[in-house]
Amino acid sequence: MPDLDENKRLFTLRSGGWILIGAITLTLAGTLWNLAPLFDPKRKRPRGDGRTAASYEFDLTKTLVPKQKIVASGMVVDALEALADPKTVTPSERGRTLVPSDTVIGVTAGGASRAYPLRILVWHEVVNDTIGGAPVLVTYHPLSGGIAVFDRRVLGRTPTFGVSGLLYQSNLLMYDRADDRRAESLWSQLQARAVSGKAAEAGATLALLPYALTRFGDWERDHPETTILAPIPGEEAKYGQDVYGSYLNSSELRFPVDPRPPAGSLDAKRRVFVTGSPGAWTVTPLPAASGEARFPGVSPSGTAPAAGFYTFWFAWYATHADAGAP
C-alpha cells in the first residue's frame, strides 16, 4: 500500500490533479476579471452582450425599420472607437503609414481639404471631424461596403456619433452620444436617417456631402495643401492589417439580410455608387473588381467630389428594397 507521499505523487502525476488545479485557477481568474466592473467605479461595464439587440440599451420601443432586423454584430457598444476631432498630419509628415496607392476618402469643405485613409477607417468606421469650420461625419463600413460623408449638423445641434455595435441589414448603425441614454438615437448609414429614438421621432436625416474615393497620390496631386487623418499613436502596426480580406474576396455574408437581391440582378457584393435623394435614387454599378482592385471606382482621374454612397449591391437593395435593379 503506498504511503501518504506516494498518494500525493499519484494524484499529481497520474490523475491529472495539477491540470484540475490549473483549470480551477484560470476559471476563478476569469470570473474575477468579469466581475471587476462591479467593484471598480472607474471602469464602465460594456453595453451589449454581442447577441441580443435589447442588451445594448438603446430605445427600440419605436423604430422606423423592422425591429427584428436590428441585430447584434458580436461587438459591444464602442468596441470600434469612433474618432472625434482627430489629429492630422501633412503629406510630408505621413511617414510610412500611407503610400500613394492607398485608397482615401477625400473631402473639401470651407476651403480646406483632408484625406481619410481606408486602412485607418476600417478600425474606427466613424470620424467626427471639422474641416474649414464645417462639422463633418466620415463613415466607412466594410461589411456592407458602405462609404458616405455627411454634414454633422442635425436638429439645431452638432452631435458626436459613435459605433453602436448593432447592424441593420448588415449595415452600420451609428448612435448620437448623449449624457442621458434616453436621448440617444440609432442612425442608419445607408438610409442617412435616424431609425430609433428621439431623433427618429423628429424625422431627423443627415445631409450628404461631396467626397472623392481615390488614391492618395492622386488626391495629393490635386490638393497639395491637404491634411491627412493621423493614426492613433502607438497603434500604427494594426493599420496595415487586412482584417476583411477573406470576407471581401468571397460571396458569403456574415449577418442576416432580407430581402436579398433577386436572381438575375447584380452579384450581391458588386460595388455600386448611388446618387440622388429618397424616391429618386440613381444606382450605378461599378466595374467588377479583380485582383487588388477592391475599389473599381478609384481611378487616376477620380478626385472629382460627388455626394452619394459607395456600397455593395446587397446592402443597398436590402435597405432600399423599393429602389429596383439598375
Q: Are 292 and 298 in contact (CB under 8 A)?
A: no
Q: Are 189 and 146 in contact (CB under 8 A)?
A: yes
* Residue 217, C-beta contacts closer than 8 angstroms, at least 6 positions apart: 100, 101
Q: Answer yes or no: is pLDDT of 6 > 60.
A: no
Q: What is the pLDDT of residues 265-313, one digit of tens each?
A: 999 999 999 999 988 999 999 987 644 456 665 654 467 999 999 999 9
Q: Answer yes or no: is pLDDT of 26 > 60.
A: no
**DSSP codes, 208-252:** E--BEEEEHHHHHHH-TT-EEEPPPTT-GGGGG--TTHHHHTSS-
pTM here is 0.84
* Residue 139, C-beta contacts closer than 8 angstroms, at least 6 positions apart: 125, 126, 127, 146, 147, 148, 149, 150, 172, 174, 189
Q: Which residue has the higher pLDDT, 25 or 132?
A: 132
Per-residue model confidence (pLDDT) at position 19: 42
Residue type, 88: T
Q: What is the pLDDT of residues 163-178, one digit of tens each?
A: 999 999 999 999 999 9
Residue type, 206: L
Q: Which three cell numbers stand for residue 47?
A: 453595453
